[in-house]
Structures are given as structure tokens and as C-alpha cells.
Structure 1
Amino acid sequence: MPGLRDIVGIGLCASMMLALAPHARAITLDDARTAVDAILMQSGITATERDARAVDGNAVVLTFDGVSLDLQGYSTARELKMDDVKVTVRDTDHRDQIDLDVKLPERAEMDAEATSDKRALTMRNTGGYLRWNTAKNIPVTFDGFADFLIGEEPITRQYWMMNGLIIQWLPELARIAWQGAEWTGPNREKRGSVKSANFTLYPGENGETHLDYAHDGLWLPSLFQPRTVRIKSSSQGLPWQDAKPIIEKGFHDILTGTAPRFARRQIGDALWQKAAENGAPVKVDEFYVESRGLEALGSGEFLAQTAARYGFTGEFDFRLLGQDKLVDLLGTPDSPTLLGALLPFAVNGLAVGRPGPQGTTEYDGKLLPDGRVVVNGMTVFRTADGR
């Protein structure tokens, strides 16, 4: 039976390959401690070891209390504190690499000098998997997760919460995503929420850097709510080999206590600087925005320039569905509404649209070095100094 012989032969070959393949070695308590201590020191984390034991024949579990991490990028000094942090350390099939499985406790706190800056933290099923290069003392990959996060201020009880958080940092991918978020002001007054969001950076087939962003279900207490936004962009002038170290540093900063908003700004500024140095355009291959019956679909191409008023020059085009709703809201140049009078550039830009297919209105625009925005040949916005 040739078919049976083939199957048996394949099985024998697979068995031999598995037998000859290198296997992860059992790690010792001292090696595990040395590796974790190096990671803690590099990350600026202090902790006290409470327990250490070997498990499963090839792993070590270290338990820490008094874990403390200074938080950066906030208006005042703050510190993250927690107990009962478990780190499982295993050796790998790769020389000078170990795997760490980090499990965080369900309760923690953000400590600060001012009571209003303190936060009580709830972290349900939160942790991550880290592969670490012990020779270079750098991370190789990271997968972080949290089923549920909430931070609550003790006096006014304003809070933020997030569900289904994922943070991935791989050799060819960087990603932050979540499935639901909400934030409030004092007395739990709702200030905003979003059903899902996804931010991904990765290389293309020719080594260019791609950035994809999307969110759905955004709610804000304002007249204009971009409830759904999707952006796909790329830049051959920003090769992945240039972008990768910038992104890695940004993700490392986030994971070691830098405020996410501050870290994102640092990543964006560094990527912009590199794009400006390389002098090649950033292409917005597609963007889509939906808000209360309004839809816009378009594309663009922008060039990072240090001499440009807003850092970029470029061109864009889009089709708008629902122009009549915006006219009702903003009015026309001859008869603006109260809101339109406050936003004359929006009224003027809306008015110069030309009819497009399937009931849409078409717009072609330019962002000029001096900050002017020209839409369908008409300057609809200029800077405060009149240029």
C-alpha cells in the first residue's frame, strides 16, 4: 500500500527531526533571578522577592511584593505600586534567550503626592509574555493583555476603564488594540467612550513602513462625532529599518511607565523627524470617516517638511455623502448659522464642493507650506497672521 508507506515514512522523518531538534533546558533559580534582576534594573522597577521555586521540571516561578515603578509624562510625580506579581521564567531553544510569563495582581494603586492624582486600579486577568535576550539585555518580543482595566480617583470618583486590551511588539509588528473604553469627569459624568480601536505598524513587501488605524463607536459630547474612522497609510521614504527602533523605544517606554499619550507623541515626533530627513512622501492610501449620517472616503499624499507651518505639505481628495446635513448645521457663506459663523473655513470649504457620483460631493485639497488650505481652487483657511 504505497499511500500507507508514504504516511509511515513521513511520520518517521518527523519523529527523527523532533528527536534531533534542540530542546529548552531547565533553568536554575540563580539564572532566573539574575535575568529578572537585570530586567527590573533596566526598566527602573524596584521589587522585593517573596518566594522562588522550581516548577514543571524546567521553569522557575518568582513572586514579588513591593513592586514600584515611577510613572513618567504626567503633570505631577506618580508611582505605580502592587504586590503579588508572579513571573514564570523558562529557558528556550535559542541561545541567550529566555521566556517570561508575567501575571499581575487584580488590585494595584497609582500613588501621588496630591490625593486628586491618586488612582485605585483594578486589573482583571492582566499580564504578558516576554522573550528576553540575556546577552544583549533587550526584549525580543512582547504580548501583553488585560481582560479589564479601571482606574478610579478617590475623591470625585471619576474613572477610566478599558476592556480587552492587547499590546504586541514583535519583530515585524507593533500593535495596540482594545475592545471597549469609557472615561468620565467628576461625579461620573460621561466624557467619552469608544467600542473598539486598533493601531498597527508593520513593514510592507518592499520594506516600507505601514500604519493602520481604526476605531468604531466613538462617542463624544460634541456636535461632530467621528464615530468610525479607518486610515491606511504607508511611506517608502520611511523604511521599516528606520522606523523599527523608534517604535520599539516607544513601546518600551509605555511598558516601563511612560504615560501612553506622552509616549505616542514621542513616537510621532521621532517618525516625523525621520520622514523629514528622508524627504519622501507619506501616502494615505485610504481614509474613511462616518459621523451621524455623514460619510467621507478619500486619500492623500503628504510630505514632512521642517519649513512647513504645520509640519506637512500635501494634497488630498475625498467624496462626501451627506453634504446637505452639514449645510443644515453650518449654513452657507451668504447665510451661516451661529456655529457656521464660528467656523467660517468649514462653511467656505463645504460650499466649494462639486457634484460627484451616487449623490456624493467631491473635494480636492492642498495643504500649503504657509499653512493655507485650498479646496477646489479656493483658499478656505489661512493662519491667524493672514498668510
Structure 2
Amino acid sequence: MQLRKALTGFGVLAISIAGLTTRADAISVEDARTAVDAILMQSGISATEVDARMIDGDAVELVFDAVSLDLSGYSTPRQLAMDDVLVTVRDTDTASQVDLDVKLPEQAKMLAEATSDQRDLTLRNAGGYLRWDTARNVPVTFDGFADFLVGDEPVSRKHWLINGLIIQWLPEMAKIAWQAAEWTGPNREKRGSIKSANFTLYPDDDGATHLDYSHDGLWLPSLIQPRTVRVKTSSAGLPWSDAQPIIEKGFHDILTGTAPRFARRQIGDALWKKAAQNGAPVKVDEFYIESRGLEALGSGEFLAQAAARYGFIGDFDFRLLGQEKLVDLLGTPDNPTILGALVPFAVNGLAAGRPGPQGTTEYDGQLLPDGRVVVNGLTVFRTADGS
């Protein structure tokens, strides 16, 4: 048995992955090991090979136990551990490329010093496909999936659940999506749920970078819930050739143990720096928000700027349907409710609207370099220092 460095891990859950293509010549066991070793050395996971054999006359199956991946970006050190990981390796019709089919076991653990940070993991039909360039030692495509993933904290019984998870990386697209998710507090007290979510980055025909985000059915224990959100953004000044390596690194970090929230923040920071360097405006081509009978539809354009208080300056406009519901909740500047008194900028902004078509209220806004927000000519928010 041989100790080897690591599968391409799937972030928190080690789903390694990617594209399928036509089979080519048979691959030997040693050639498969060589190809897998080149992949494993980049992931930082240790694993013990327990079996290796030819199957179907043109593929090699490798089985690993004691698979261990250090996780980063969390408040305390954590580690993902699992046994019985199956990796099937096939040659392809493309020189210096191999396909890997990875199947993960149904049970795994997140290990940590503190019991409250430990998790028992359940993974149903989790795994994926990876096409690997053996000459350059880089992934070409990956495609990961899981019917569902569950994490249970053994003492408090906190848990999270994700159904229908998909993670994809192709040269012209990056995508994370799922069909349903929920998370709880102690003894599974419901803290939140979401019906579906989709985050996709891709270029258009002219090479501009696009980001589409949507979610539906968000539930939170709060008065105002953005139950449905759809945002379409683009930036011609931030071409895909600049954005792709940033996004690829971020997805690779997620797949090799970096906390998804931390990796997303790294991607966002790097894209912002590149946009600021290019002087690239980011267009919000469309955004739509629905919450408890409230609907807003609008657009905007923002410029990444290092000197700006919040990193961006820009303009936005939207139409709101259901303003009266928010007035009932927040009040008016002259007569705010208790909640409205806690968020006076929201009350002032709400009151600054002007009548629009079909019962809507219209808002035109600006985000200024000093952090002020101006709506229909009225400053509705300024920073704590009064600027």
C-alpha cells in the first residue's frame, strides 16, 4: 500500500470533478498512478491506496482509504476524513489528457479539536468527473455533483443540508448551483432555508465577463426576506481573459479545502482589484427582488475605485411595487415606527420616492465617493463621521 498525496478535493466536501469525452487507448495501472500522483500532489490530501486493478480492458480503478484533507478559512483548524474513495482513470483521444471518474463514500467526517466544530457528513451519490492535462498539470474541465449533502454536529444537533449540488468548471464557464438547502440551530431549530440558487460566470461573444446570480424561496426568521433575487451583471472593461484565471484559482481553492465563504471573498476581492486597475465599469443589467408582496426591478452602473469609501461609486434606478407595505413597517421621517427609528436611512430613502407607472414608486440613486447615498436628490445615508 502506498501513501499518496491527494485527490482534487471538493472544498468542504471533497467532490473532485469534470468533463467527459471519448475513450481512447487502454491505460496501464502504472500510467494511471503516475497521472493521479500529479493531481494528488497539488491538493494537500493524504491517502492510502488499498487496491488497483484494470477494468473493462481500457480503464484502471484505484481505491483509497484514510483520505485526509486539511480545511482552511475556518475559525479553527479542521480536517475532512473519509475512506473508500474510488477513482477510475481512462486515457482519452487527446494527447496528454486523462479522464477521472471519482466516487465518494456515503459517510465522512469533519474533524476538529472542539466538539462543536466536528461534523458527521452524509454524501449521497457524490462525486464527479475530471479531465486533466498531464503535460501542464492543470485541470481542463471538472463537473461535480451530489444528490444531497448533510452535515450534523453530534452534540447540539445543528445541521445543514444541500440537495442537488452542482459545481462546474469549463474554459468558458464557472457555475455553482443547488436545488434546496436548509440550516438549523441547536436541536434543529430552523434558522434558514432556500429553494434553489445559481451562481454562474461566463464570457459573451465579445469576451466581456458576465455574472448571473439568482435564488428563490429564501426563508429567514426576519421581517424582511428577499425571497427571490435575480441579478445579471457584466463588465466589458473586465474581459474574460483577465477574470478567468482569478475564477479558476478560486474554484480550485474551494475544491481543495478552502471554506466556500472565504474563497468567494477572495474571488470578489481579486476581481474588484482587476476592475479598479482597468477602470472598468460594472453594469447591473437587471436586478429583481421580491419579498412578502414587495417587488423591485432596476439596473445600475458602478465603477470600482480604491479611493471610494465602499470601493465603488455609481448610479442606480429601480421601481418599487408595494411601497405602502414598507411604510406600514417602517413609518415616515416624521412618524417612524420603532423599527424605522433603528434604520432612519431606510425610512428617508423610502420617503424620497416619486410616483411611477402602474402603481409603482420610482427611485434614482447615487453612491458617492465619500459613502453618501443620494436618492432622488435627497441624501438618505451618510457615514458615521458625517461625510
Tell me, yes or no, whether TM beats 0.5: yes
**Partner amino acid, structure 2, of 1:175:** K
Q: Which residue of 1 aligns with 2:219?
A: 219
Quick one: higher RCO (CA 8 Å, sep 6+), 1 or 2?
2
CA displacement at 1:38 relative to structure 2: 1.6
- Secondary structure in 2 matching 1:116: helix
Distance 1:330 1:49 in 2: 62
Q: Which residue of 2 aligns with 1:96?
A: 96
Question: What 5-or-longer segments of structure 1 have no aligned partner?
Answer: 1-21
2:300 maps to 1:273: no
2:371 maps to 1:371: yes
Distance 1:77 1:38 in 2: 26
Instruction: Tell me: CA distance 1:23–1:195, structure 2 relative to 1, closer, same or farther (3 Å).
Output: closer
Q: Which residue of 2 aligns with 1:7?
A: none
- Secondary structure in 2 matching 1:154: coil
Q: Which residue of 1 aligns with 2:179?
A: 179
Q: Which residue of 2 aligns with 1:291?
A: 291
1:169-248 aligned within 5 A: 169-248=169-248
Deviations 1:23-74 (A, max 9, x none): 6111000010111112111111110001000011110000000000000100
**Which has a greater percent of helix?**
1
1:300-379 aligned within 5 A: 300-379=300-379
**Partner amino acid, structure 2, of 1:350:** L
Q: Which residue of 1 aligns with 2:6?
A: none
Assess if the C-alpha contact under 8 Å between 2:23 and 2:90 holds in 1.
no
**Partner amino acid, structure 2, of 1:69:** L
**Partner amino acid, structure 2, of 1:290:** E
Distance 1:60 1:113 in 2: 37
Q: Which residue of 1 aligns with 2:5?
A: none
Q: Which residue of 2 aligns with 1:74?
A: 74
Distance 2:224 2:86 in 1: 45
Q: Which residue of 2 aligns with 1:38?
A: 38
Instruction: Tell me: CA distance 1:337–1:64, structure 2 relative to 1, closer, same or farther (3 Å).
Output: same
Distance 2:251 2:131 in 1: 15
**Partner amino acid, structure 2, of 1:292:** R
2:113 maps to 1:149: no
CA displacement at 1:158 relative to structure 2: 0.3
Structure 1 vs Structure 2 CA RMSD = 0.8
Assess if the C-alpha contact under 8 Å between 2:130 and 2:143 holds in 1.
yes
Q: Which residue of 2 aligns with 1:3?
A: none
Distance 1:85 1:266 in 2: 29
**Partner amino acid, structure 2, of 1:285:** D
Distance 1:130 1:220 in 2: 36
Q: Which residue of 2 aligns with 1:117?
A: 117
Q: Which residue of 2 aligns with 1:55?
A: 55
**Partner amino acid, structure 2, of 1:343:** V
- Secondary structure in 1 matching 2:221: coil
Distance 1:189 1:23 in 2: 49
- Secondary structure in 1 matching 2:126: strand
Distance 1:278 1:128 in 2: 36
Deviations 1:182-206 (A, max 9, x none): 0001121111000000000000111
- Secondary structure in 1 matching 2:135: coil
Distance 2:45 2:36 in 1: 11
Assess if the C-alpha contact under 8 Å between 2:51 and 2:62 holds in 1.
yes
Distance 2:189 2:84 in 1: 33
Could you state the TM-score of these two structures normalised by the residue count of structure 1? 0.94
Q: Which residue of 2 aligns with 1:160?
A: 160
Deviates more, 1:38-47 or 1:370-379: 38-47
Instruction: Tell me: CA distance 1:23–1:65, structure 2 relative to 1, closer, same or farther (3 Å).
Output: closer
State the number of aligned residues. Answer: 366
Instruction: Specify the structure having the higher radius of gyration (Cα).
Output: 1
Distance 1:116 1:23 in 2: 46
- Secondary structure in 2 matching 1:42: coil
Distance 1:133 1:308 in 2: 42
Assess if the C-alpha contact under 8 Å between 2:250 and 2:266 holds in 1.
yes
Distance 1:82 1:349 in 2: 52
Question: What 5-or-longer segments of structure 2 have no aligned partner?
Answer: 1-21
- Secondary structure in 1 matching 2:125: strand
CA displacement at 1:382 relative to structure 2: 0.1
Deviations 1:283-327 (A, max 9, x none): 000000000000000000000000000000000000000000000
CA displacement at 1:162 relative to structure 2: 0.3
Distance 1:45 1:90 in 2: 22
Q: Which residue of 2 aligns with 1:254?
A: 254
**Partner amino acid, structure 1, of 2:374:** V
Q: Which residue of 1 aligns with 2:25?
A: 25
Deviates more, 1:262-271 or 1:32-41: 32-41
Distance 1:251 1:349 in 2: 38
**Partner amino acid, structure 1, of 2:259:** A
**Partner amino acid, structure 2, of 1:274:** K
Assess if the C-alpha contact under 8 Å between 2:23 and 2:91 holds in 1.
no
